[in-house]
Amino acid sequence: MNIGEAAARTGLPAKTIRYYEEIRLIQPHRAENGYRSFDEKDLHKLSFLARARALGFSIEDCRMLLALYEDETRASADVKRVAEGHLKRIDQKIADLEAMRATLSELVEACAGDHRPDCPILKGLSGQSAGLQG
């Protein structure tokens, strides 16, 4: 099938599919007219990629996971290691965001939010108030 149908069936934009070919995540065949030709195996790989990306795996993680997916002699430990690394990064991001959230929400709650110019948020950002480290 052509790229349009592959896009429709995997939910990935055609542009993204071309990009995945360019960075050699997939290698669809070419028809005589030069059009990319996708088979079921390509579709499976694209769907795999779509799910892995939706879980936040980097492209390089995806490349590794795809290689493991295709390697029938893989050890599940190798897959798990990649996933645990990603999990750790997710946890770190969540922690960072929670920290931001805590400080910011403190400032927001202290701000009257009316017509007057006095503003604890700006005070906090300008370093005139406690609650902001760094």
Partner DNA sequence: TATGGACCTTCCAGCGTTGGGAAGGTCAAG
Partner DNA sequence: CTTGACCTTCCCAACGCTGGAAGGTCCATA
Q: Which of 29, 40, 42, 59 binds DNA (CB under 7 A)?
A: 59
- Structure-token pair, residue 125: 């950002």
Binding part of the chain for DNA, among 55-63, 81-89, 92-100, 119-127 by CB under 7 A, reads: 55-63
Does residue 104 touch DNA according to CB under 7 A?
A: no
Q: Which of 22, 34, 76, 130 binds a copy of itself (CB under 8 A)?
A: 76
Does residue 126 touch DNA according to CB under 7 A?
A: no
- Structure-token pair, residue 44: 């499976």
- Structure-token pair, residue 124: 């906090």
> How far apart (Å, rounded) are the C-alpha atoms in residues 2 and 35?
7
- Per CB under 8 A, contacts with a copy of itself among 94-123 are 94, 97-98, 100-101, 103-105, 107-108, 111-119, 121-122
> How far apart (Å, rounded) are the C-alpha atoms in residues 81 and 107?
40
- Structure-token pair, residue 91: 């946890």
- CB hemisphere CA count around 123 (13 angstroms): 14
Binding part of the chain for DNA, among 1-9, 88-96, 98-106, 117-125 by CB under 7 A, reads: 1-9
DSSP for 5-45, please give it.
Answer: HHHHHH---HHHHHHHHHTTS---EE-TTS-EE--HHHHHH
- The alpha carbons of the chain give a radius of gyration, in whole angstroms, of 23
SS3 assignment, position 29: strand
Of 15 and 93, the one with the shorter C-beta distance to a copy of itself is 93
Residues engaged in binding a copy of itself (CB under 8 A): 11, 44, 47-48, 50-52, 54-56, 65, 68-69, 71-77, 79-81, 83-84, 86-87, 90-91, 93-94, 97-98, 100-101, 103-105, 107-108, 111-119, 121-122, 124-127, 132, 134
